[in-house]
Amino acid sequence: MFNDLLLLLFSAIVSVLIFKRLRLSNIVAYLFTGFILGPSLFNLLHSYHEIELVAEFGIVFLMFSLGLEFSLNKLIKMRRAVFGIGALQVCASFFLFYWLCRLFDLSWQQAFTIAGVLTMSSTAIIVKVLSDQQRLESRTGRLAISILLFQDLAVIPFLIIIPIIAMPGLEGEIVTALSLAFVKGALAVAVILSVGRWLLPRFFDEMASMRFDEIFILSTLFVTILAAWFTQLLGLSMALGAFLAGMMLGESHYRHQLLADIRPFKDILMAIFFISIGTLLQYQVLLDDFGTLMLIVIGVMLAKILTITLAAVIMQEKLTTALGTGIALAQMGEFGFILVALASKYKLLDAQLSSLIIATGVISMTITPLLVKYSHHISRELLHHSAKAFRFQKTLPGQFTKHTIICGYGRVGQIVSRFLKNESLPFIVLDRDPMRVKEALEGGELIEFGDASRREILLLAGIEKANLLIITFDDLRRSMALLGLIRALNPNLKVLVRTKDDKGLDQLKAAGATEVIPEVLEGSLMLVAHVLFLSGVPSRRILQRLESERKIKYQHLHGFYYGQNSQSEKNTWHIEQLHAVTLIAGAEVVGSCVQEFHLAGVMIKSVHRENGAEVIISDKVLFEPGDLVLLQGDKDRLQLAEKILLGKCYYVPV
């Protein structure tokens, strides 16, 4: 088993690297890996049973993540397209494929399964392709998402029915068996959604409040597997339970954090699942039936284009938009492979049929990016109109396009978001305080629960297409780590960093911050600006003064005289202070050059002679008895500097 797993992972890495260079989906790479390693080609794997068991968990986590990505709010907003075009497409495609399968003498159980498999389209591929081509928010993109949402719902009956119709000896009792299955399905939905609505939010509130990532991740895994176990206990598929669990948590403010936590497990196990599906591909079948395979691929894609286009036109969509949507959704989807795996497990599909269907999915997925890219040209040729008439609409301003990401929703984050909202500028807020997120959501704010230092969370927040990112929390270590991650994901993104003071300003700039805003210093500058304005100083000169101060890194805003009652004094030994030292006769430095005095962390701000005259410091100016030397530095270094100046401590010029 260990050797098989090692070979499987290595082969998957190589395949993904190759397919990425070809700009093809990871799913296709995994299926190809399974085909290469499988029994029909090189037969390099031996622990097929163990791999299938691991792949079962791949299905569970894939379905859970798909459930999380299912948006009830989006479904309600797009209900006309979802329940209109989506329902028409699923029904039309299903009955068309069912009729064609029966025409070729397949049993009604096989026809039912294959029709369900071919009806589904790929959410992962379509979202990525449309997003890459900036068409996700076009009318075509919106229609595609609406249809995919209904397909997500439509998969639930298939997950319930397929295990039932596969049971032998039920021909005369099929209605009873199906009725019982649907009762069990309804019970599963009711129980899981009820638990998800009333118990799980409190459960995850408690887990999140502990601030232990491990606890949150373990809780996510527990809930996923528990839901899958519950539906299996009812005699239904584990995939159904996982999908329902994802759906019930998909509307919570933990959605993005859950997706980020589950992703590593999902990605690895999903890879093994698709590789196991790839092993079902039979080289000899593909070789002998290649002509048949190509006819099936062309027939399936044309049939889906036709049914989707007709469904959209019936719902009064433009023909160009309808055709573009049909082309985008012509491929087979992830749900199709899950249904194939389920049907193969229950011996509904033989090796030849499974191989042909999987190959159809692989080929249709492979050519989808190319079809979508040239869909407007295809539309032009088919409908004999100019290319301009059939271009996709430009991307509309949306939550994840040219938006601002606000990391942290404390006082500063909330103030920034209010002003962005007033200007109708798109933004998303990330915060990991469960109570704050809950309160903000109840107040109607645009906020997501998630740790901004996690790569997956930033990707889910759309960092690759963001216009600006603001780090509002005052934590130099976290800000530095986050800047490194941001620059890896989007090197050109403008990043604004808020700090309390300018400690670490140069580090933050070097790490990639576009602007660093020291809150206390900028607040002081604003106060100075008001003072100067009320004193009659022209506005232009005030702005010049402020800009000049920023350019010299707030030099005039450093070094302060601290008193006995300075509240911050006890905890601010690292803060630069001002301290005056009067040189007595016989002091160690009397007669030496002022510029030769160097001590790390201490700067001479000014030197005044005994008569009060300020000396311009140069290489010709020497210390004299009675000089008042004004020093700037942190407290412990100022004490050391005073001892050196007065000869109470040995000093070696640097």
Q: Quick check: 564 pLDDT over 60? A: no
User: In this predicted structure, what is the pLDDT of residue 247?
Assistant: 82
Q: DSSP alpha helices (H): ranges in 279-410? A: 283-288, 290-314, 319-328, 334-345, 351-373, 375-383
Average pLDDT, the chain: 81
Query: What is the separation of C-alpha 237 from the centre of its chain, rounded to a whole number of angstroms?
Result: 29
Q: Quick check: 569 pLDDT over 60? A: no
Alpha-carbon Rg of the chain, whole angstroms?
33
Beta bridge partners of 633: 577, 602
- Which has the higher per-residue pLDDT, 579 or 122? 122
- Which has the higher per-residue pLDDT, 566 or 259? 259
Element containing residue 349 per DSSP (H, E): none
Residue at 332: amino acid letter:
M
Has domain 404-513 been given CATH number 3.40.50.720? yes
Cβ neighbour number for residue 378 with a 10 Å cutoff: 17
pLDDT, tens only, 369-425: 888 888 777 776 666 543 333 333 333 333 467 899 999 998 889 988 988 888 888
Q: Quick check: 312 pLDDT over 60? A: yes
Highest averaged pLDDT of the listed ranges 34-48, 93-107, 251-265, 521-535? 93-107
User: In this predicted structure, what is the pLDDT of residue 255?
Assistant: 80
User: In this predicted structure, what is the pLDDT of residue 616?
Assistant: 80
- Which has the higher per-residue pLDDT, 71 or 116? 116
Please tell me the least confidently modeled range out of 88-97, 153-162, 296-305, 439-448.
439-448
Cβ-contact 344, 280 below 8 angstroms: yes
pLDDT, tens only, 570-620: 444 455 677 788 887 777 777 778 667 766 677 787 888 888 788 887 777
Collapsing DSSP states into helix, strand and coil, what is residue 494? strand
Q: What is the CATH number of domain 569-645?
A: 3.30.70.1450
Residue 418, burial from CB neighbour count under 10 angstroms (0-12, 13-18, 19+): exposed
Cα 542–Cα 545–Cα 548 angle in degrees, nearest 5: 150
User: In this predicted structure, what is the pLDDT of residue 396?
Assistant: 31
- Which has the higher per-residue pLDDT, 20 or 561? 20
614-615/577-582 β-pairing: unpaired
Which band of pLDDT confidence, cut at 50, 70 and 90, is reported for residue 92?
A: very high
User: In this predicted structure, what is the pLDDT of residue 111?
Assistant: 94
Cα separations in angstroms, 366 against 22, 29, 97, 115, 129: 10, 10, 21, 21, 12
Q: What percent of the chain has pLDDT over 90?
A: 15
User: In this predicted structure, what is the pLDDT of residue 562?
Assistant: 55
Residue at 150: amino acid letter:
F
- CATH class of segment(s) 2-387: mainly alpha
Residues 434, 448: Cα–Cα separation, whole Å: 10
User: In this predicted structure, what is the pLDDT of residue 132?
Assistant: 73
User: In this predicted structure, what is the pLDDT of residue 169?
Assistant: 64
User: In this predicted structure, what is the pLDDT of residue 332?
Assistant: 92
Q: Quick check: 474 pLDDT over 60? A: yes
**Is the dihedral angle over the CA atoms 70, 72, 78, 83 positive or is it negative?**
positive
Please name the residue that has the structure tokens 């040995």: 650
Q: Which two tokens stand for residue 277?
A: 């599906």
User: In this predicted structure, what is the pLDDT of residue 399?
Assistant: 46
pLDDT, tens only, 135-179: 777 788 888 888 988 888 888 888 888 888 887 766 657 778 778
pTM: 0.66
User: In this predicted structure, what is the pLDDT of residue 87?
Assistant: 92
pLDDT, tens only, 178-229: 788 888 888 888 888 888 778 887 888 888 888 777 888 888 888 888 999 9
Domain limits, the chain:
2-387, 404-513, 569-645
User: In this predicted structure, what is the pLDDT of residue 141?
Assistant: 84
pLDDT, tens only, 333-363: 888 988 998 888 888 888 888 889 999 998 9
